[in-house]
Amino acid sequence: MDAGTLLIVIPARGGSKGLPRKNARTLGDLPLLGWTAEAVRHSGLDAHCLLSTDDAEIAAIGASVGLEAPFLRPEELATDQAGAAGVALHALDWLESTRGIRADALMWLQPTSPFRSPALLAQAVQHLRDNAGLDARLDAVVGVKSIYRTLGTLFMADTDGRLAPVQRQAEEITR
């Protein structure tokens, strides 16, 4: 994958059960999508970047922060059951069938991780390019972050909107 073609896909569907319309919301002084757009812009990556959404409002928000949303994702790829693979393949197929560009690599950037470092995006692609190939075992790079709390101190909203622990503790934690 020396100087291969990179496609960056930013998936942002309109429906969200946990936080309704989260991908259309603002975080600080930017729309949520704006943080990802800025990270890509400042990464220096030479890539095709597509916003994949099923929602016209989210597409317009994406366009307002410089993202390209040239299609609306089909309904079957915008359900709770739709997987990332189908959405990624749809974007890859669209790029090849409409622009004649075949991507050699794909970067998947969830807009709900807004505080990513542009430098780390570039490092991830460089790491993949340096270590991928027919003889290499590396075909993916995944960015993760250590959780800084125990599951016993994390909470989620239940169906009534009340906070409930993610995992109930067998014993009380003494602080």
Any idea where the domains of the chain sit in the sequence?
Answer: 6-131
Structure tokens belonging to residue 120: 């780390």
Question: Residues 103-160: pLDDT tens digits?
Answer: 989 999 999 999 999 999 999 999 888 887 656 666 677 776 766 666 666 777 777 7
Question: Residue 33 phi/psi, 5° resolution?
Answer: -65, -30
**pTM across the whole model:** 0.80
**Arch. (CATH architecture) of 6-131:** Alpha-Beta Complex (3.90)
Helical packing angle, 118-131 and 32-43, nearest 10°? 50
Per DSSP bridges, beta strands 155-157 and 163-165 are antiparallel
Residue 164 pLDDT > 80: no
Q: Residue 86 is which amino acid?
A: G
Q: Contact 72/56 with Cβ under 8 angstroms? A: yes
Integer Cα distance of 39 and 13 in angstroms: 20
Query: With bands split at pLDDT 50, 70 and 90, how would you rate the model's confidence at 3?
Result: very low
Higher-pLDDT residue of 49, 131: 49
User: Which of 34-38, 78-82, 141-145 is predicted least confidently?
Assistant: 141-145
Residue 51 pLDDT > 80: yes
What are the DSSP calls for 68-90, one per residue?
B--SBPPGGGSSTT--HHHHHHH
Q: Contact 120/47 with Cβ under 8 angstroms? A: no
Q: Contact 23/58 with Cβ under 8 angstroms? A: yes
Structure tokens belonging to residue 52: 């994949």
Residue 2 pLDDT > 70: no
Integer Cα distance of 2 and 128 in angstroms: 9
Residue 68 pLDDT > 80: yes
